Structure 1
Amino acid sequence: MTIDMTAGGLYEGLPARHIEAFLEHLRTAGYVDSTLRKKQRVLTAFARWMKGRTIALAHLDESAIGAFVNRSVGAPATRVQFELAVLRLLLTYLRSKAIVRLAAPVDDLLVDRISGRYVDYLRQDRGLAENSVHVYAPFIRNFLRSQHAADTGFVIPAAFDATTIRNHLLARSKGRSGEYTRLMTVALRSFFHFLFLCGDTPRDLASAVPTVRKWRQSSVPTFLTPEQEETILSCTDRSSPRGRCDYAVLLLLARLGLRAGEIVALELDDIHWRSAELVVHGKNHMVEHVPLLYDVGEALAMYLRDDRGASASRRVFLRMWAPRIGLTGPAAVGHIVRLAFARAGFRPACRGAAHLFRHGLATTMIRHGASMAEIAEVLRHRPQDSTAIYAKVSFEALRGVARAWPATGGA
């Protein structure tokens, strides 16, 4: 796609070559020509607007974008939202190429430096999965931002103490759920231990972070019966590309008991067709091989051959719309499952929709006489407590060992 610019192809502050490179970047990401033409019109209008106000590229930021989209009083909301999305994407691209620099306050730079070191520690030293890193990191950034010294603008870890921790927890836990508060304390405890190991604090303040009690669920885990699973699978329309993708995802959940995050992380090289195996990247960086069952392999082959399309990403499952990259996270698999439940008229009264297939697989195995060790092997559990919860669902086996309940009169 070429762009017709005036005066040698250069508007004030926004060279045509950057717009062309940005559009080519979007095309590589999977955007179709009709969408690119719409985005080009926005970029051309923005370039003219920048020229009229002599805004230099070095001064391009969110405030300039805001002024542009609000230039017309009473403009349709859909147009404003589209322009805003296009220009935010442009600004992100220009910053990623170091064409436009992000001017960050001093304290933000320090927050980034400290939290970046902590994230590296979680990944390299602790070996945490990316999902866990994404949970911990925001809590630490919020804490650091709240603790920079107002007079100097610096974050001073050596000045942290038990009072600092208490005040932060009291302020941030108001109106929050117990689970949110528990995760915040876990993240802070890990962070303060990290600071001590690095010599940034004179003592380990991890012990100053209070523990939030978590009650272990004693009820029977919710699961899908084999009949419910087959109904959900049969309601998936395999005549469309989206349906074939969803069907392959649902089979991986139902037949192999994969976790949502494991499906997201699957790459093309993880499918070993000749040996009929899948390489699964599980929790704590565990890499394991699971059998590629016939119907699962058939669904994967059909999706890869007919629907996945070309992409620079090596992930098996891609977004249906541009940019054509891997799924963003486990929530994308959860969305597929919830849509499948809706089509089948199934409304579970619990969270974690994708995990119900995993519970269902374990329940079916135990009802067919599988041992706890066999279930743990299939589900790739490390702690035995993770598998022990499924002992509660074998009601018939429990009746065989339960003592009779005493009736009136001692009968």
Structure 2
Amino acid sequence: MTDGDYLSGSQLFRRLKNGPHGHLVELYGARLAKDGFGRHGTWRSLNLVGALLSWASSSRLEPTDLNECVVDRYLEHRGSKQRLHPGDRAALNRLLAVLRETDVIAPALPSPITQEDQIFAGFSRYLRQERGLAPRSIITHAPIIRRFLVEVCPAGPEDLSRISQADVTRYIERHAGDASAASAKRMCWSLRAFLRYLHHCGLHPLGLDTSVPSIRRWKHASLPTYLSAAQVQKVLDGCDRSTARGRRDYAILTMLAKLGLRASEVATLTLDDIDWRSGEMHIHAKGRQRARMPLLPDVGAAIVAYLRNGRPTSACRRLFLRTLAPHVGFASGCAVTMIAKTALKRAGISGYAHHGAHIFRHSLATELLRSGATLSEIGQVLRHESHDTTRIYAKVDIEALRTLCLPWPGGVQ
């Protein structure tokens, strides 16, 4: 049953459409159908909107009075009587968007800009313009700096000039062991950049970035985590390609396994990035780079199967879309990582240090090395900027390393 068929046969929709706010309900129903909501999602959203409009009338509010504050009050009222669902607020915010598109209610008021927001806005501009960071890299700094300011500057941004070297050192000593060594290095990197920014724009008289200690972490100390070719095939075979979700996940996993793409590179692919005539794909690579990758036959076949019998109808140009409405692209590569984790768990593969999309990248490099490819060729396939990044895979070729071993003193032990 299609969305339009459900609306035409829904008693709830007919009742609301014949009510005092029938025109608004019709507009909202059209929006649900356009976004591709299924039967249950449409019923749930219409039920919520009907309850909101009924509550607003009993509270002597007109539809023109609706806004985010009114929605908050209604959800508080509803939550006191029954359990709220995770999508309730999104359903009502969708109603506000429909009302604003038709000029029924005023545009949303911008959130008040605090001093902290101004600091972060300036810091983001500095990272983008002065340091040349990509937006995805800039976002990673925000939670680290917010936590730092809450502890070191509890009175607010006016205390920025009072930050001392001892404050910075004590903060790092408290939190360096919270997670892995890699997380501690990222924390120090963010703090160093922020303290450098404070001095650069005159918010602190000293350049405290030099007071941030370095976190020792041995580079390439561990072996890369990888799967065997049989395990990779088992993961691919675990996708139920009789369903739309299974065809999508199979195409994603095939790209990870056969091309060694990163999760973010898969998530940001668009329909326009695929050149079917030349058999190539244009990848939005790391560091704001653009790269060309060959469209291998099995990868192309998986994409075609998804496009023909799996991809929802949507105006979004992203290649891979959410299966649940609204049918839009993934917000980030985290969704691709979760698809990979679910596939690994479904295949019964466990006991590895990493359970995500990147393990397929390591697996491809390891398989290429064992097939006779040189490290230089592997670096080209994985688009590594430094040869040092590729050299880590030399450690997995145990048989080749045996030829480099010196004889044990005194004979074989």
Shorter-chain TM band: 0.7 to 0.9
Change (3 A) 1:52 1:161: farther
Whether 1:371 aligns to 2:377 is: no
Q: Percent identity?
A: 35
Count of aligned pairs? 394
**In the alignment, is the contact (CA less than 8 A) between 2:127 and 2:138 conserved in 1?**
yes
Counterpart residue identity of residue 67, structure 1 = E
Change (3 A) 1:59 1:382: closer
Within 5 Å, which residues of 2 pair with 1:9-408?
9=21, 17=24, 24-32=30-38, 34-54=40-60, 56-57=65-66, 60=69, 63-72=72-81, 75=82, 77=83, 81=86, 83-84=88-89, 86-87=91-92, 99-101=107-109, 104=112, 109-145=114-150, 150=155, 155=158, 157-166=160-169, 168-169=171-172, 175-407=178-410
Deviation at 1:302, TM superposition (A): 1.6
Counterpart residue identity of residue 138, structure 2 = V
TM-score in terms of structure 1 length: 0.83
**Distance in 1 between the 2:226 and 2:334 partners?**
19
Deviation at 1:142, TM superposition (A): 3.4
**Distance in 1 between the 2:401 and 2:177 partners?**
43
**Distance in 2 between the 1:169 and 1:285 partners?**
31
Deviation at 1:223, TM superposition (A): 0.8
Counterpart residue identity of residue 320, structure 1 = T
What are structure 1's unaligned runs of at least 5 residues?
A: 11-15
What are structure 2's unaligned runs of at least 5 residues?
A: 1-6, 8-12
**Distance in 1 between the 2:154 and 2:336 partners?**
42
**In the alignment, is the contact (CA less than 8 A) between 2:340 and 2:355 conserved in 1?**
no
Residue in 2 that maps onto 1:13: none
Shifted more, 39-48 versus 253-262: the winner is: 39-48
**Distance in 2 between the 1:47 and 1:209 partners?**
55
Deviation at 1:221, TM superposition (A): 1.3
**Distance in 2 between the 1:199 and 1:95 partners?**
42
Change (3 A) 1:86 1:244: same
TM-score in terms of structure 2 length: 0.83
Give 3-state SS (helix, strand or coil) of 1:311's partner.
coil
Counterpart residue identity of residue 218, structure 1 = A
Counterpart residue identity of residue 42, structure 1 = L
Shifted more, 272-281 versus 29-38: the winner is: 29-38
1:329-375 CA-partner distances (Å, limit 9, x unpaired):
22211222222223322214212421121111111221222221111
Give 3-state SS (helix, strand or coil) of 1:278's partner.
strand
Give 3-state SS (helix, strand or coil) of 2:329's partner.
coil
